[in-house]
Each structure stands twice: as C-alpha cells, then as structure tokens.
Amino acid sequence: MATAPAANLPLFYKDLVPLSSVDHANFHARSLDKAEFLINQHAVPLTSDEFVSASRFYPIVFSAGDNPVPLALMGLNEGVNTFVDDEGKLINPVYVPAYVRRYPFLLAKLRPDTDELSLCFDPTSGAVGEFEEGDALFAGTEPTDPTKAVLEFCKNFEEAGQRTGVMMDELKKADLLMDGEVSIQPEGSDKPFIYRGFQMVDENKLRELRGDVLRKMMQNGMLGLIFAHLFSLQLMREVFAEQVKAGKVPLISEAPLV
C-alpha cells in the first residue's frame, strides 16, 4: 500500500526549472482552483510536524521498505482519491498536506558537488508563467514579497523534512515499526477486503519500551506524534466507506494499500 515516492522527479512534478530573474522576469504565480495532479493519487507524503492536524482527516501510515516515510492516505487503493472530485477540487474542507501546498515550487540541489538548494518550479503546472494575473515573481532583478514567502515556505518544509527523518530514525532504532494489515468487511459481502503493504507502529512494542526511551519520546514530543498516527488508523474504514459510496472499490479481496 505504501511505497515511498522514488523517481527521477518527486511525486507530482513532471519537470523542474530553476527560478531565474533573467529567464522569468515577467512570470507570475497564480493560484489554481483545482489540483488535477491529486485525482489519481491515493497517498501523499507528510511531515511529522503535520501529524496532529492531518490525523483528523487522513489515516497516517508509513511506506514499506527500509527507508519508510509518513504518508497521508487519501484513498486505500492505487488511483483512488476520496478527497477530490473528478476535476481535482476538494470535496470537503480538510487539512491539505504541505507537500501539496508547496507544489509547483520546491528547493532542489542543482549540482552534485554542492549542498546549496535553489528554488525551482514545475513549468507544466499551469500555476507559473507569463500570465497577466497572479503575483509577479520579480520586481526588476529582485524577488517580490510573494516569491520570498514561497522561498520561506519551501525552507520550512525542508526543515520539517529533516525533523521527520530524525523521527523515522528513532522509530527504526526503537524497532517500533511493523508490517501493517487492515481487514474491512463491507456490509453484504462474504469476504473482507484486506490491505497490506504499509508499516505502522507496533503498540505491543510501544508498551514494552524501556522507561528512559519512553521518557525521551515524551520530552521531545515524539510520543504524541505516535499516538496521532495510531488514532488516525481508525479513519481507514471511513475512507473505505467513501470509496464504496463512489463505486471505487476493487473486485479483489486483497489489495496493496500504499
């Protein structure tokens, strides 16, 4: 169910171009009233900073594999998103993950010999270009306030990503992650739908943690994030119910979740 987004380009991005005051002097950024890139996306990366807010709306799981990342589930099956309509518009007001709000911008390392990050954007998004509407990205050679705000948001996202990495390292160090499985028995069906392919925190191992480890997790706020993850898993049945309502449930009884 959960595979970490891993490709030449990050999830959602079809192309990346460094933002330049020379090449993009007349470019504007406009807000989009729909997110078509979300229509067939059932899992979105999440930072640990967002666990509490996201847990009110989405099941939070961890991707499978040796380098798991947190994911907000917008659907339980590949290609199914129960939170947007067929045009990519949010069906109901919900918390929107920062990964989605960041698009089409992101900080990227342009050269392998340096750690310096540059602000880039996806030119295929339809949100950035030589339009008349929207916020100007440059005033002369200087970035405008909206551009500075985008840069700050992307910097904060990177920092949140680093904190998320620390949390994941701690979870693995404490051996708290286990393979997840959820079985959902729809009304009128003689077979349950079984979802696998993701990871979750093992509650039994959590109860058996040494006092010093548990104390450290309580003091650094990690314990609260773990509980937010565990509580959010109850929402899987609600997401499944939305899939049933939309007629988007597969015919097979076993399905990968992420």
The string of pLDDT tens digits covering residues 33-75 is: 899 999 999 999 999 999 999 999 999 999 999 999 999 999 9
Its domain, for residue 199, covers 17-256
Task: Confirm whether 91 is domain-assigned.
Answer: yes
Task: Confirm whether 190 is domain-assigned.
Answer: yes
Task: Confirm whether 246 is domain-assigned.
Answer: yes
Task: Confirm whether 8 is domain-assigned.
Answer: no
The string of pLDDT tens digits covering residues 73-112 is: 999 999 999 999 999 999 999 999 999 999 999 999 887 7
Quote the number of domains for the chain: 1
Helix or strand holding residue 207 (H, E): helix 203-207
- Chain-centre distance of CA 52, in angstroms? 14
Task: Confirm whether 10 is domain-assigned.
Answer: no
The string of pLDDT tens digits covering residues 127-137 is: 999 999 999 99
The string of pLDDT tens digits covering residues 228-248 is: 999 999 999 999 999 988 888
Task: Confirm whether 2 is domain-assigned.
Answer: no
The string of pLDDT tens digits covering residues 141-167 is: 999 999 999 999 999 999 999 999 999
Task: Confirm whether 160 is domain-assigned.
Answer: yes
